[in-house]
Structure formats: C-alpha cells, structure tokens
Amino acid sequence: MALDDRQKQIQTSAGLDESRLNQEFVDLLKRFSTPLLLVILVVVGGYVGWGKLGEARENKLGDAFGQYEAALKAGNPNNLLRVAEDFSGQREIGSLARMAAADIYLSSAIKGLIPGAELTPEGTTKNPDDILTAEKRTALLTDAKKQYQIVLDATRNDNFKAIHSLGALFGLAAVAETAGNAEEAKKYYAEVQPIADAAGLTSFTDMAKARAADVDKFIGGVRLLAAADVKSKPAPPAPAPAPIAPPTPELNFPPTPLDPEAK
C-alpha cells in the first residue's frame, strides 16, 4: 500500500473514531441532560428557596414576637394561648406565651380576682363580680397547672430549654402552694435539681431548696377584699377635755388699823 494511501486510511480511521466518540458523548448528554439539568435546577432553586424560606421565617418570627408582646401587654391569657398555638414552631414563642398565660392565671388566683380586674388605689375592688368564688379560683389554678405542665413536658429533656423547664417547675410548685398542698410543692422543688445541675444552672437548685424549706410560709396565698368587705376604720376617740381650773377665790379681808381708810 502506498504511503499516501496509508496516511489517508489512518486519517479516515481517526476521523471515524473521533466522530464515534463525539456521538457517544452526544448520546450521553441526550440521555442524562434532562436529569442533570433538573438536578441543577433543584439545587439552584433550593438555594434560592432556602433564602426565601429563611426570609419568610424571619418575617414570621418577627410577627410572632410582635403578637406575643401585644398579648402580654394586654394581660389576656386567652390571647397568649392563641399566640402559643399559632406560632408553636417559632423558636420558644409557644413556651413563652404559655408560661405568661399560666402566670396570669396563678396571679389572679392568688389575688382572688378575675384576670384583668382593676383595683382602687386602696387595693380593693368595687365590682363584686371581680371577686373569685372558690370554684373559679380552683379553675384558675387548674388552668395554670395545665399550661405549666405542657411547657415542662415539651422542654424537660432538652438542656438548651432548661430555663423553661425550671420556670414551669417553679410555677407548678407555686400552684400547689396556693392550693394549700405543701407536699406536692416540695415534690416539684425536688425535680428542679437534676434539670438545673445538668444545664449548669445550679443557682436554681439553691433557690428551690430554700423555697422548699419555707414552703409552709406560702401555703394558701392571699385574698383581696371588695370595698363592701372592708370595714370602716373606727373614728379616733375625741380628745379628753382640758381640765377646768378651779375658780380663784376672792380676797376680801376686813380692814386693819394700819389701813388709813379704816374707820
């Protein structure tokens, strides 16, 4: 075979091989291009979506805190519980709102007034309907205990949420004290130590021990009185009359010989 023909054959074979390789590559792209593009689109879309999701989450978190603060300022436990339900997945909003609602229930039960009742400057209420009956007071303590328990159950096993667990335990102990159950209160105080120690919050352990030692001082709580229940202060006694000086006797001596006017 002539050299020129051989070179032509080599060039032709090389061209066929190159063409075959190019075709295989094209076929490979045809086969995997759609899934590959989809993967790229998913990755890119996921990145953009994650940014949008983060922005949406931040906006929702801001809205959650805004509604929480508004409900807290209004002092309405029902609004706080609604915030807890609506934003249960937003950081610790659920626990904060439930704790705040429980605190309002407990405070109202301790004072003996319905939530939101206004007091006079003297510390009494003129509206008799604001005074809690024994049944309503028990119901408020039950509501407070329920919300504290929900927070405790949701955070007990998480050291990062220990502060909520400890707050709930102190709240449950205060409910027991207000209800007159000293032993139950001591039980909750005893539960503080393992959670506080595990989270490095040992000051709460000391606080719980001190409170448990004085639990009898806090049993039963206090009760505010309506104006009608407050007896008027007795009027101060009238000052004793000033002593009356005895009359000055008249000096009327008989004339003497030394008196020139004497006769």
Q: Would you say residue 192 lies in a domain?
A: yes
88-111 residue pLDDT tens: 766 688 899 999 999 999 999 988
CA nearest neighbour of 185 among 146, 217, 153: 217
What angle (nearest 5°) sits at the alpha carbon of residue 100, between those of residues 99 and 102? 65
Give the span between the Cα atoms of 65 and 62, in whole angstroms.
5
pLDDT: is 175 or 51 the higher one? 175
Q: Is 112 exposed, middle or buried (0-12, 13-18, 19+ CB in 10 A)?
A: buried
Determine the pLDDT at residue 232.
42
- The closest of 110, 102, 117 to 137, measured between CA atoms, is 110
Q: What is the pLDDT of residues 139-165, one digit of tens each?
A: 999 999 999 999 999 999 898 999 999
241 has a pLDDT exceeding 80: no
Q: Which domain holds residue 187?
A: 95-227
Q: Is there a domain that residue 250 lies in?
A: no
Tally of domains within the chain: 1
Q: Is the pLDDT at 211 greater than 50, yes or no?
A: yes
Q: Is residue 11 part of a domain?
A: no
Residue 4 lies in a domain: no
Within-domain flag for 152? yes
> What pLDDT score does 126 carry?
76
> How many Cα atoms sit within 13 Å of 122 on the Cβ side?
11
Is residue 2 classed as helix, strand or coil in its secondary structure? coil
Give the whole-angstrom CA distance, residue 153 versus residue 159: 13
Res 33: pLDDT: 46
Whether 200 is in a domain gets the answer yes
Q: What is the pTM of this model?
A: 0.63
Q: What angle do CA 12, 16, 19 make, to 5 degrees?
A: 135
State yes or no: pLDDT of 57 exceeds 70.
no
**Distances in whole angstroms, Cα of residue 206 to Cα of each of 135, 158, 183, 196:** 35, 21, 18, 10
DSSP output for 103-146: HHHHHHHHHTB-TT----TTS-BS-GGGBPPHHHHHHHHHHHHH
**Does residue 29 have a pLDDT over 50?**
no
In a domain, 261, yes or no: no
∠ at Cα 107 (103, 111), nearest 5°? 175
What pLDDT is recorded for position 34?
A: 47
Is 61 domain-assigned? Answer: no
CATH number where 179 lies: 1.25.40
Return the pLDDT at 204: 92
Q: Is 263 helix (H, G, I), strand (E, B) or coil?
A: coil
The mean pLDDT of 29-33, rounded to a whole number, is 48
